[in-house]
Chain A
């Protein structure tokens, strides 16, 4: 089946720093989704991208749908302690019934 390669696996940063993570695949997709998971909770949708080249922001978060349609990037500016968590990319790959495939996740730790 399709696989999403997410990197980096983990990041340790100081509060105020910017963060970048990405997700790549060997397949072409029509949608990229970015989720965040706080400890002890389920993933929450941050940003959804529907068009190649699309750049979408949600507060300090910005995500881009790669023009090759095989990758996506998530940037967090001026990180704060509550940004701590696991970030996942995901997509449905155009399959039926909305089944999602997830990347392995990026664990973000922010030091005050």
Chain B
């Protein structure tokens, strides 16, 4: 187990409401990532962080924001949730940015927006 906890594990909410997902790690890894998983698309990168207060956009960042005020926590926020953001969200961590330091994933948050 890579020491990654995602919360909540499941959430149902309504269109237009704000939603925040949390990723907590106990590995003290520098790099953290948020992905979403949809049928037929694999996993797609939303945002990532390369240190405290250092974040950047991924492939599908529109409608999402992130924050990282501590090494161990990486928050993903949907400011005004839409039905197209219904998905399974995964957090990943990595000790380094190089490909020989592979990412380890949490167990995901299943988010449904009605």
Give A contacts to B, CB under 8 Å.
Answer: 1, 4, 6, 30-31, 33, 40-45, 48, 50, 88, 90-92, 94, 96-105
A-B contact pairs, 6 of them (CB 8 A): A33-B102, A41-B108, A42-B90, A42-B106, A48-B102, A88-B43
Partner pick for B56 among A43, A48, A97, CB 8 A cutoff:
A97
A50 to chain B, nearest CB (A): 6
Query: Which of A48, A94, A97, A105 touches B50 (beta carbons < 8 Å)?
Result: A97
- Give bound CA distance, A92 to B59, whole Å: 13
CA distance A30 to B98 in the complex (A): 11
Question: A residues within 8 A CB of B96?
Answer: 98
Tell me which of A41, A92, A104, A105 contacts B99 (CB under 8 A).
Answer: A92
Who on chain A is nearest to B100 by CB?
A50
Total number of A-B contacts with CB less than 8 angstroms? Answer: 71
On chain B, the residues within 8 Å of A96 by CB distance are 97
| Contact A97 to B100, CB < 8 A, known contacts A40-B107, A88-B42, A104-B40 | no
Can you list the 4 inter-chain pairs with the closest CB atoms, starting with the nearest? A42-B105, A102-B42, A31-B99, A98-B97
A104 to B42 CA separation, bound complex (whole angstroms): 4
Known A42-B107, A88-B43; contact A99-B102, beta-carbon cutoff 8 A: no
